[in-house]
Structure 1
Amino acid sequence: MNLDSPTPHGFLLGGDLPVNRIGFGAMRLSTNGFTGPARDPETGRAVLRRAVELGVDHIDTASFYRSDDGTVSANALIRDALHPYPAGMVIATKVGPSQTPDGGLRQTTDPAALRPMIEANLETLGVDRLDLVYLRVGMMDPPHGESVAERFETLAALRDEGLIRHLGLSNVDTGHLAEARAIAPIAAVQNHFHAGKRDDVELLTACEEAGIAFVPFFPLGGGTSDLTGDGIARVAERHGATVPQVALAWLLASSPVTLAIPGTGSLTHLAENMAAGSITLTPEDLSALA
């Protein structure tokens, strides 16, 4: 097993970026989901500043995380709240989807469309190089059998130009991972995975064997899955914790390469999520959650 060595921060992303294993997902800063009406931008900036105070050094974002009317965007909030960025701050973004004029999202398979997306992220985040860029393939379910080679080759070329430090994949299967790894190194994979949705165990195992970070999106279900149940409720009660906190603790316990990026637009939920890092699940707990 070729795992990146543990650090005081928790994990070496890409082999050279130390990060805490609980980071922050920026999707809910601008809206309460992929799309929707604008949230209060000052609250979003306050959440970001507090996240850094609580130890967040890994923020996951995207240029298409913005309100339907375009007035509030996650990237702009991150730049407004945190730029110049604290030393050691790692910002990951993703390309592939783009927002339509009506506020919806569409997925591109055109490699030529990726450079403008990278340039948009560089500009809105106010950086000369992006720490980590995921190629998002499909929207919610991996498009099995669809080649990612041309798109990933484009991102690899942009990395060679110095615009990207590390590359990742999102919403993929093991075939996509193997195809992309033949082109360039993969630092992280981001798929829909949590305590109530464990379809991608094979992919997680492949990442663990290669020392690739596995960074699930919707680590608390994202409103698409019910995390309640007798087992998780009992474990939460034993620890004096909430069900979401135990769900995050389970995610971190599931593999040494998993990183959690729970997202929220609430200061209260932010504190709750970060506190999950102090929960150590026992063998009895893990058995109850199996």
Structure 2
Amino acid sequence: MLTLKLAELQVGYTTIALEFSITGKVPAQITNEIPNPLPFTPPAKLRIIRRCTLFLSDPSQNYRLPQLSTTYDLFALRPTTEKALQLACYSLECDLISLDFSIRHPFYFPIKTIKSALERGIKFEICYGPGVLNADGGASRRNLISNATQLIRATRGKGIVISSEAKEALACRSPADIINLAALWGLPQERGTEAVGREARSVVVQAEMKRRSYRGVIDVLHGGEEPERDPALENSNGSVGKNKRKADTFDEESAVIANAQKPLSKRQQKRQAKQAR
């Protein structure tokens, strides 16, 4: 595991997610199965977040999604049926919808269903690791290209996050390689850059806001302390003046300049002409 994380750090990543997968019934006592602290010492520049991926097969089963979402830093759903995909897109709360792109799904990705998840702020994840290793003679690679192309067509390239799901160091690729790989799926270069950078970061930030926020408040930056008063703005009795300026605050030179710049009225002009005569 340490070799894999060092490999991801060397190819240009500063934040990675350790994944714990749950298949079937969720246990009654939900705990974070990823140890903290970790059994190895990660590099100083590497940030590690803990992620849980739940395989969703039976929509009628209670999976205790709120408890899982608060226990882990990142929570993802992996639907295995069409009904599970519709339920995840329309109603279930999660940070990511991660489909297995290495297999051939017996259903399509409806545009209306995918769009409803994007409107709720849920991103879709494409994992390229199984397709890169190609351990089954090319079937996973073909399925990856076909499924990724279908998802990109349904989302129009928006709301997509590309990750490795790597179990070996050989499955890790640099961000530039991933952008070129996504171009083969039909994802434009600017969308591919967002899928590796901005979209992935937004998922982590949004998940953190869900855990820490309460009624829209994330952090209190000002505790309501009384600001310091300026003695120059206070009156002699200690009260602060309401934008009132005293006559003695003007010096004589400023008063002369102000009077000189002020235009004369007609009455003053007649008086000055009379005095001159």
Larger radius of gyration: 2
Using CA pairs below 8 Å that are at least 6 residues apart, which structure has the higher relative contact order? 1
More helix by share: 2
TM-score, with normalisation over the residues of structure 1?
0.42
